[in-house]
Amino acid sequence: MRKVAVSIAVAVMLLMQAQAQSNSAPASGRAVTTRITPAYPELAKKMHIHGIVKVEAGVRPNGTVKSTRILGGNPVLIEAASDAVKLWKFAPGPAETSEVVQLTFEAQ
């Protein structure tokens, strides 16, 4: 029984480390220069829905967002997250890149 508890604790620690590393910076390192806060959907407010939406943004060399793709999150929140990320601006870069960002919605 003790070995199982230790194994679970180690698994949780490894998962937390992996999440911390994946949330720390975009893959290419392009900084966000303009971050638009998403509108909290009325349905989410009424249902007290909160959570994280993960979005992949295709970013042009000039830093504007070309496209978005939802990687995960509550279906009630994803449209608001995508709409906000489409308005973000990133630091200019030499080529088009793909940036993964997370937006946190907290119950209001």
∠ CA 24-99-12, nearest 5°, is 40
Instruction: Tell me the per-residue pLDDT of 5-57, one tens digit each, with 9 for 90 and over.
Output: 333 433 333 333 333 333 333 455 799 999 999 999 999 999 999 999 999 99
User: Long-range contacts for 61-65 (Cβ within 8 Å, ≥24 apart)?
Assistant: 61/92, 61/93, 61/94, 61/95, 61/96, 62/92, 63/30, 63/33, 63/89, 63/90, 63/91, 63/92, 63/93, 64/89, 64/90, 65/89, 65/90
Sheet with 65-72, edge to edge strand ranges: 65-72, 51-59, 97-105
% residues pLDDT > 70 (the chain): 73
Domains present along the chain, CATH in parentheses = 2-105 (3.30.2420.10)
